[in-house]
Amino acid sequence: MTDRRPGIVHLGVGAFARAHLAWYTAHADGEPWGITAFTGRSPDTADALQAQGCRYTLVTRAASGDDAEVVDTIVAAHPGSDSSTWRHVVASPATTVVTLTVTEQGYRSGSDVPARLVEGLEARRAAGSGRIALVSLDNLTHNGDVLRDAVTSAVSDPALQDWVDANVSFPSSMVDRITPATTDDDVAALAELPGALDGDRVPVVTEPFAEWVLEDGFAGIDRPAWETAGVRIVDDVTPYEQRKLWLLNGSHSLLAYLGLQLGHDTVASAMGDPVCRAAVEQLWDEAALELPLPAAEVAAARDALVDRFANPRIRHTLRQIAAGGSEKLPVRVVDVLRHRLDRDPSAGIGPGAATAIAAWWLHLTEQPDLVSDDGAPGADSDVHDVLRVIAPDLDTTPVVAAITAAADRIRAARDTAERTRTDEGVHA
């Protein structure tokens, strides 16, 4: 039995939610809160958690070694198909927060997530259980607004919509913690790791760094004292969303496309390449000029990212990051460029942005077997085709010239890297 208050309902329980939301909740001071977790579709994680009392091992993987702690924040785990229990717990007066990690697809037309939320809210209204906060933990800009729009679009009853408007809050949040997929080797290694849960079938591996910036949108709504665990409660998450998108996510995309061109397969490997590192620093320099945050905070974020990216024991593959560039580049790279040109129309495209776009172009045209992106132009695309997808208004002669020149530099660096590997493979 647990003495945790089951005040949080989470939809989409997976590795990230257990490394982030559950970890922060476990470390918050005050009344111990618990999470009633629901999977997306597959019942496997729920079944495995229930079999071990919903406790699991969180392995924090630093460059120097692994540390383990047992997290007991989840008080119950259910398959997403258990709609009866879902309605019951969302309607419970003890529940005041519903959190989600359902990926971008969960908010789009055709997803069943908004309908499930509406079912729960309808049950809550009928029970007279009062105000509640719905908090997205997905990597979306203004995710609270996105979630509100998705829920509103699924409400057909005007009376329910009036109740939602009066009783449901949708605070935005920015979340960050690299959490790679757990491997069979990770599970096997628990036997020798002090502090691990004996016989754990579903441990989570994560990096030491964690961040959560949460909009202060809980008026009249009880929540854990997350700020005591390091969560930053703010009036507006926008600057922090931009910082993450432009520094972390932007450089991830750059490293993915440029690193794959130069023969790397992980973030750590690419970050150790002077060509990739220099391009990342250029991209960061351009973003720093546009971020509405103190220079010291931006510099600290950059330093932290260097350490995070260089951690060789967090295997973050470039092929995984490279997927979906047609949707990612506009918010990670092009958005910085738009701010740059709005501030100074004569500034032109910076070398960091030019390299990122050029590397994506070469990824599409010269590595088509690695492309996973339904919205991308084909393998025979030119620079104009690429810009037509991510920034049609920036298809100008100076921008095209800068991207073309960057592509030539990447090809030259790739040729040099290939010659070096060939020479190193020749033994006298």
Give the percent of the chain with pLDDT over 90: 92
Whether the CB-CB separation of 16 and 101 falls below 8 Å is answered with: yes
Q: Within this chain, do residues 28 and 80 fall inside the same structural domain, yes or no?
A: yes
Q: Within this chain, do residues 274 and 149 fall inside the same structural domain, yes or no?
A: no
Query: In the predicted model, what is the mean pLDDT of residues 357-378?
Result: 97
Distance CA 173, CA 143 (A): 7
241-261 confidence digits (pLDDT tens): 999 999 999 999 999 999 999
Q: How many domains does the chain contain in total? A: 2
Q: Within this chain, do residues 182 and 244 fall inside the same structural domain, yes or no?
A: no
Q: Within this chain, do residues 298 and 400 fall inside the same structural domain, yes or no?
A: yes
Distance CA 294, CA 192 (A): 44
CA atoms within 13 A on the CB side of 169: 19
Of 190, 213, 235, the domain-final residue: 235
Q: Within this chain, do residues 137 and 167 fall inside the same structural domain, yes or no?
A: yes
152-197 confidence digits (pLDDT tens): 999 999 999 999 999 999 999 999 999 988 999 999 999 999 999 9
Give residue 1's pLDDT band: very low, low, confident or very high (50, 70, 90): very low
Q: What is the CA radius of gyration of the chain?
A: 23
Q: Within this chain, do residues 219 and 357 fall inside the same structural domain, yes or no?
A: no
Q: Within this chain, do residues 209 and 271 fall inside the same structural domain, yes or no?
A: no
Parent domain of 246: 239-424
Please tell me whether the overall predicted TM-score, pTM, comes out greater than 0.85 for this model.
yes
Q: Within this chain, do residues 73 and 15 fall inside the same structural domain, yes or no?
A: yes
The predicted pLDDT at position 428 comes to 44
Q: Within this chain, do residues 37 and 124 fall inside the same structural domain, yes or no?
A: yes
Distance CA 351, CA 264 (A): 21
CATH of the domain at 190: 3.40.50.720
Q: Within this chain, do residues 288 and 383 fall inside the same structural domain, yes or no?
A: yes
Of 190, 205, 235, the domain-final residue: 235
DSSP code per residue over 181-229: PPPHHHHHHGGGSTTPPTT-SS-EEE-S--EEEEE---TT----BGGGG
The H or E element containing residue 417 is helix 397-424
Q: Within this chain, do residues 271 and 413 fall inside the same structural domain, yes or no?
A: yes
Distance CA 226, CA 5 (A): 15
CATH of the domain at 402: 1.10.1040.10
Q: Within this chain, do residues 82 and 125 fall inside the same structural domain, yes or no?
A: yes
